[in-house]
Each structure stands twice: as C-alpha cells, then as structure tokens.
Structure 1
Amino acid sequence: MHQWIKLALLIGVLGRPGALAMQADSEQPDTQIKVVNAPKDQAIAARLGEITAAINGLEQVEISVSAGVVKLQGEVASAQLRNQLTAIASRLEGVVHVQNQLQEQLAVSSRLEPAAEKFREMLATTVQMLPLLLLAVLAVVLFSLLGSWLSRRNALLRRVGLSELATNLGMRFVRLIVTSIGILIALELLDATALVSAMLGVAGVIGIALGFAFRNIVENYLAGVLLSTRNPFAIGDFIQVADMTGKVMRLTSRDTVLMTLDGNHLRIPNSQIITSPMTNFTRNPLRRFEFNVGVSVELDLVRVRDLAISTLSNMPGILSEPRPRVLVLELGDSAVTVRVLAWIDQQQTDFLKARSEAIRLVKTAFDQAGIEMPEPIYRLHMVDMAAHNSAASSAAESAASVLNSPQMAAVDVSADTSIEQQLNDELNQSAEENLLPAAGNKAAGKPAD
C-alpha cells in the first residue's frame, strides 16, 4: 500500500516540471552582480568639472567624488543653477548619490553679473541689427507720412458727394491702411512676420471687447455718418422724432441737437433718429392745420360748412389754393362733429397762431349765426318756427358781419421768429462741431430744398 502511494506522488511531481524549477531557483544563494568597465570616481569628477566650467555661474563649485557619491560645495549664482547641477550630476553614469551643499551667492556684484552679461549680448545683437532697425523705422515713418498726406486729399470723396463725416471716416481708413503697410514692411525686414499673426489675434480679441463695451458709441457714430450723407434735415428745420419735436441746431458724431419750442436744448442719439419715424415739417413750405367742431344735429350742415369755409377764406394767412375744407366726421347722439381744414405758408404764417385764430373766428361766426355747439346732454326744445326761419335768414348777415368786424382786422398770424433768433445766437456762440452745412436763411424759417 505504501509503495502505491510513493508511486503516485512521484508521477505528480514529474508532471509539474515548472514547480521543480521554481523550487530550485528559490534555493539558489545570492550572487554578486558584476559591473563591467564601471567609471572611476576621478572620471566622474573630471566629467562633472568640464560641465560646470562650460556653464556660467558655476565657476566656484567644488566637486568631490567618493565611492560614486558626489559632493558639491561652493557658491552658485542662483537657486535655479543649483537645482540644475544636482539633476546633471545624478544623471552621470556611476553616480550613486548626490550631496548638494551649494549656497546661493548673495553679493550684489554676483547678482548683477548675469544681467550685465545678458545686456551685453542684447547690445551686441542690437548693434548688428542696427541697419535693419533703421530701415524698418524709416519705412514706418515714410508710410505714416504718406498716409497723412493722402488723408488730406479728400477732394475726390467730396466730389462724389459724401458728407464731411463720411469723408473724414474714409480718409482715416486710408491712413490706417497705408500705415499698416509700412509696419508690415518693417516686420518683414526684421524677420518678425510671425508677430503679425499674434498682433492680428490680439487685435481681434481687443476689437470684440471694445465692440461690446462701446457698442452704443459705434452705433451713434455710424448713424451720424448716414445722417450726414443722406441729409434728411438741415439747420433750422422743424422736425419730430417719435414724440420729440424741435428745430435742428447741429448734428454731431454722436447725437443731434434740437431746440424745442420752449427754448430748451434736446439731444437725441443718432441711432434713435435712424431707427425712429421722423417728420420734417420744413421741407414743404405748405402745411395744413385742422380742428374739430361739434354742432347741433338739428342744423343744416351745408350752411355750417359754407359759413366755416367763408370765414377761413377771408382770414389773413389762409391760402386760397388749396382752399379750406369742412368734412363731416361723425354723427353723435346730441352733436355732429365736423372737421375744419385749412392750409398756410410757413414762410409767412405761423402755424400755431393761424390755427388758434382760425378756431376763434369760426366760433365767433357760429355764435353770431346762431349755430349752437351743444354740450353732451339731452334737452327738450320748444321751437318757434317763425323765429327759426328768421334766424336762418340772418345767418348770412351774421357771417358777413364777422368778416367785416374789428376782430378779423386784428388777426395776427405772422411768422414767430423768437425760436429762430435764439437758435442763431446759439450757433454763433457755440464752438461744438456741426456736421450740417451752414445755410444762410435756413434758421430764419425757410425750408430746405
């Protein structure tokens, strides 16, 4: 039985030769590893000495090597050189350990020596490149002068019909382009064309940042260029932008200055004028005013219309062509609303005065003719037909009496020049830029062409 067990164990062991090999390896004694041609301590010290002699700032380093251990003593110019020398020494073949006992030099002369050496190198390089530097500077100066000269030759753009602001903007672009060409030539002479890409990248980033920061200023400036080019108004024109009205004083690169009818200065950003509806009341010397009148529903509207037209036709300042008109606007419960319209010449007649006098005279004519302008109430009328017929027959006589009355003779609709006088005084006293051309009689109330 014991023989069969021994035989089985032997077969199992023979079937695992790897296990036997591992067991044999583990039983082998430790042996010494030979190093062939290992460098001597003197060779390590000599090699490291050659390295320190070739690097500035390591002249005062003392090197000693014993059994592969490198010992560094002395002073170095900076902590960076100290760390670099430690890294170099540890990479040499045969070095086991590096003892760095180096100290950083604290003397002022030792600290200034590397800077002085770099300055001498830069000075030598500058002296060698001095001719190229002079040529580069000369190219920039010449192209800058050429750009300035071209920027003053704006007669061609003015001949095309561009405004002063648009012409100035175009000349600035010309000067910028010509000067940029000179800078590119200078960079090419200095072999620094790679700097152009970096400059363009920085300029792009700066441009985007400035665009967001000064977006409103840029919008107003470009709007000023468009306004000065299109000329939608001139000095002295009476305009309305949104709900703001006034007479134009000046156009600047940022805003448009108006003088309101109460004598105040109103500044409107140019971008708002470009994007908002604008009405110029001065371009057409003829202007129509209108007002509504409510009359009784029992009256003859033909008689009401004829009386209003005849009253306005004989009023000073009202044009006969286009002639005044009266339109039935609305039929209400207790009154009929009619709209009275008439035209004036703004060069001779003030708009507000004419409208005010027209309302007054029409009301006077209606009162004298017995034309009632009822209140919004309901009343019961007991009409005497005989008296009614007599009142109708006397309507024409009352209208004629209104036309020949002293009230008609006292009508004043002359042009009001008080705002124009204030505007002229402001233009003569202010030194602020004005992109609008001066027009001799523009501020006096004459319309633009």
Structure 2
Amino acid sequence: MKSLLLAVLLLWLPGYGMAMQQDDAEAPIKVVNAATDQAIAERLNAIIRAIAGMELVEVSVQAGVLTLSGEVANTQLKSEAVAIASRLEGVVYVQNRLQEQLAVRSRLAPAAEKFSEMLTTTVQMLPLLLVALVALVSFWLLGGWAAKRGAWLRHIGLTELASNLGMRFVRVAISGIGVLIALELLDATALVSAVLGVAGVIGIALGFAFRNIVENYLAGVLLSTRNPFAIGDFIQIDNMSGSVVRLTSRDTVLMTQDGNHLRIPNSQIITSPMTNFSRNPLRRFEFSVGVSVDLDLTTVRQLAIATLQQMTGILTEPRPRVLVQELGDSAVTVRVFAWIDQRETDFLKARSEAIRLVKAAFDNAGIEMPEPIYRIHMADADAGSGKTPAQFVVSAPAGPGEPGSIDPTVDVSTDNSIEQQLNAELSQSDEENLLPAAKESGAGSA
C-alpha cells in the first residue's frame, strides 16, 4: 500500500510543476506609471523638431506602437529617427515608414546651409585672415631680401654654389616662420603636423626618385668648396682625361685632346681617383730604351744624360736621370727620366724630341739597340751517327743608324690649341660655371 502511494506521488509532482509554470507565463504584466501614447508622441515631436532635416516627420502612437512617417533629408537622419524613437520609455515597437527627400531643393538645402555657415565664419575671421596674410607676405619678402645678401658667405670663404645653397636655406627658413605665424593666428596649428607629415613622405619619395640629381648637386657643392681643379687644368679621372672647361651643379665639362666635350657627373668625380697634371707646373716624362748586353752601362747612362742636358726645355734641376730597369734575354732596358716646366714647354713635344735625340746620340756613338734574338736548335735526323746537332744563331740585323744632332730650332714650346678652343667655348657659352676665371697661361696637356 505504501509503495502504491509513493508511485502516485512521483507521477503527480511533475505535472503539478508544469501547471504552475503555465499559470506564471499567462499571468498579466503589471505596468506602474506607464507613459501614455499622447505623452510619447509629444515627447518625440519635441525632439525631432529640434533636429534639422526632420521637420517633415510625423509621429503617431497607439497602444505603445510608434509609427514614423513623412520625409527626412537623408539616410542618416532616417536611422537616427528610428534610434531615438526606440529609446523612448513606453514604446513597444517602432514602425519605420520614413522616406528620403528626392527633390533637388531638399538635397541642396544642407549644402547651402553649410556654405552659408562657412561664409559667415569667413566674414567673422576676415580680420584674422588679413593679419595672417600680412605676416606671410612680410616674412616672404624678408626671406627674399636676406637671400640677396649672400656676399658675407663669400667673404668667409664659401664658393658661389655653396653660398646660393645657404641663401636658399635662409629664405625657406624665414618663409616657414611666416607660415607658422599665420597658422597660429588662424588657430590651424594642427594643420602643421599634417603638412609636415605629408612633406616628409613626399621628401622621402622624391629623395629616392632624384637620388642621382641630389648626389651630383651635393658633389658639385663639395667640388666648388675644395677647388681640386681650375679652368684649363688637365686632369684624368679613371680612364678619362681632358682640360677643365666648367663645373656646373650637376656635372663637370672637360675638353679632350681631340677637341670634344666630355661631361662627367660630379658624384663620379668625388668618388673616383683624380690626377691633376696642371697643379704642379713641373712635370717629369720618361721612356725606355734597350741596349746591347755587351756595352758598358755607365757609358750609356752618361751619354743619355749629357744629351738631355743639352736639349732645349729640359730642366737642369731636377736633373735628368737614367736608371737600369731590367736585364733581358737579348738587351738591357734602361729608363730615361727628365723634367720640364709645363708653363714653357709642351709635355708631348719634349718627350718626342728627347727620344729622337737619345736615339741619334746612341747611333752616332755606335751603341747597339738590338732587336729580339732567337736561338734555333736543329737536331740531326740520324740519331745513331753520334754527331752533335748543329747550332745557328739567327739575329735580326739592326737598321743603319742615321746620324743626328741637337737642333735648337726644334719647337718644344707649349701647345695652346686646346687652350684657345677652351677660351672660345667660355666666351660663347652662357652655361653656369662655378670655377674661377681661366688662368692666363695654360699648363701642358698629357
């Protein structure tokens, strides 16, 4: 009996719980101080009348269901109206029946209103704009005036290109101060950071794009400051050589020995080894000559030195020198050195005449200058005959020496043909030249 009652009780309890939950769900919702429909409508109308662009919105509320109808200026106002209506106390549901205004006048009204506000603000700020403009123009004129007073930079030793660069920097700095003052007066200093950021990005991009131009310009500034050469100097850079015509902000112009113009970028001149043959007026030439191994080398040296000492254009101090350079298979090579003054003697002419005179002196003294000798071994075809192979010495016959003597009428003076063409180029061209005026007497060429 007890078991039966326990089973009935277990079956009855779940059903009783479900019945209790159903009764709770169907229980009426009690509302305390709920807002009336009229109060909701009045409150929303008061809100939308204060918002521009919602003047044509109509509001109706029934049983807590709020209906929005009419027109709004744009999609953003349409969403904002629904959001505001949903937040009102007592609203159960919001029906959105709003439409956007498609008339041209309604579309242009907000833009016209904004333009009117901007115009009003501009009129109010007109005095500040005038003051800012005056400050900007004043500092710009002050920068231009300062840029024209660059003589003091030249007095302290800067070149024309470096002075121009410094004056440009001064002008930009003074004008920049004026821009900052104008922006401060207009309360637009926040724009400075944006402008500087954009300028930095643009500067980096332009730096990569015009890297070679900037390198050549800076190299031109360094060259004009250091002055490693002057107009008319004969220089060699790598395997390129010529007389200097001009130095520009981008490249250096040389005139080759053929009379052609050779332009070399300034950055290449800065980073490459350069030889200036004209900076020192004294210059040494040299050449080699081979003599027989049977000769007395002391006699050979004395004869070559005596011959060069009698030649026109050869300096007595530093005196000529003859050194034994190499002992070869068929000849001894001696090296002949002599100095000239490039302001009076041409380098190529003097070297050519020295070679001629030394050869003539050696020929007159019977000093043999042998050609290469070849030794040929002929083997006997009969290997068992016991005969030793015959040996022959075949020597190329030396050409008959023509007697010669020192001719004082031989012209070894400086060759001014390139210098004349260079001066003509300088007088006819209007291209900038950062080098000082050409020298009165040009140095010899290579």
Fold-level match, TM-score > 0.5? yes
Structure 2 matches for 1:247-266, cutoff 5 A?
247-266=243-262
- Which residue pairs with 1:418 in the alignment? 417
Query: For 1:75, which of 48, 57, 71 is the aligned residue?
Result: 71
Secondary structure of the structure 2 residue equivalent to 1:99: strand
The percent identity for this pair of structures is 72
For the residues of structure 2 that align with 1:21 and 1:326, how far apart are their CA atoms? 135
Q: Does 2:126 align with 1:130?
A: yes
CA deviation string 1:104-163 (max 9, x = no partner): 222222222111111111111111111111111111111111111111111221111110
Q: Does 2:187 align with 1:191?
A: yes
Which residues of structure 2 form unaligned runs of 5+?
Answer: 376-391, 395-400
Structure 2 matches for 1:23-422, cutoff 5 A?
26=21, 28-30=23-25, 31-378=27-374, 402-404=404-406, 408-409=407-408, 411-422=410-421
CA deviation string 1:199-236 (max 9, x = no partner): 22222222222222222222211111111111111111
Query: 1:166–1:20: structure 2 CA closer, same or farther, 3 Å change rule?
Result: farther
Q: Does 2:430 align with 1:431?
A: yes
Query: 1:20–1:212: structure 2 CA closer, same or farther, 3 Å change rule?
Result: farther
Give the AA of the match of 1:355.
R
Give the AA of the match of 2:414.
A
Give the AA of the match of 2:442.
G
Query: 1:200–1:327: structure 2 CA closer, same or farther, 3 Å change rule?
Result: same
Tell me by how many angstroms 1:332 deviates.
Answer: 1.7
Contact 2:231 2:439 in 1 (8 A): no
Contact 1:61 1:76 in 2 (8 A): yes
Query: 1:254–1:21: structure 2 CA closer, same or farther, 3 Å change rule?
Result: farther
Give the AA of the match of 1:219.
E
Contact 1:314 1:403 in 2 (8 A): no
Secondary structure of the structure 2 residue equivalent to 1:403: coil
TM-score between both structures, scaled by the size of structure 2 = 0.86
Give the AA of the match of 1:413.
V
Query: 1:21–1:323: structure 2 CA closer, same or farther, 3 Å change rule?
Result: farther
Contact 1:311 1:403 in 2 (8 A): no
Contact 1:44 1:92 in 2 (8 A): yes
Give the AA of the match of 1:419.
I
Tell me by how many angstroms 1:248 deviates.
Answer: 0.7
Q: Which moved more, 1:321-330 or 1:304-313?
A: 304-313
- Which residue pairs with 1:445 in the alignment? 442
Secondary structure of the structure 2 residue equivalent to 1:402: coil
The structure where helix makes up a greater share of residues is: 1
Tell me by how many angstroms 1:188 deviates.
Answer: 1.7
- Name the count of aligned residue pairs: 421
Query: 1:170–1:375: structure 2 CA closer, same or farther, 3 Å change rule?
Result: same
Query: 1:23–1:120: structure 2 CA closer, same or farther, 3 Å change rule?
Result: same
Tell me by how many angstroms 1:3 deviates.
Answer: 4.5
Query: 1:267–1:9: structure 2 CA closer, same or farther, 3 Å change rule?
Result: farther
Q: Which moved more, 1:230-239 or 1:413-422?
A: 413-422
For the residues of structure 1 that align with 2:5 and 2:67, how far apart are their CA atoms? 64
For the residues of structure 1 that align with 2:35 and 2:330, how far apart are their CA atoms? 127
Query: 1:67–1:9: structure 2 CA closer, same or farther, 3 Å change rule?
Result: closer
Secondary structure of the structure 2 residue equivalent to 1:299: coil
Give the AA of the match of 2:126.
L
Tell me by how many angstroms 1:409 deviates.
Answer: 4.6
Tell me by how many angstroms 1:335 deviates.
Answer: 1.6
Contact 2:309 2:316 in 1 (8 A): yes
Q: Which moved more, 1:415-424 or 1:161-170?
A: 415-424
For the residues of structure 1 that align with 2:33 and 2:348, how far apart are their CA atoms? 116
Secondary structure of the structure 1 residue equivalent to 2:326: strand
For the residues of structure 2 that align with 1:266 and 1:40, how far apart are their CA atoms? 97
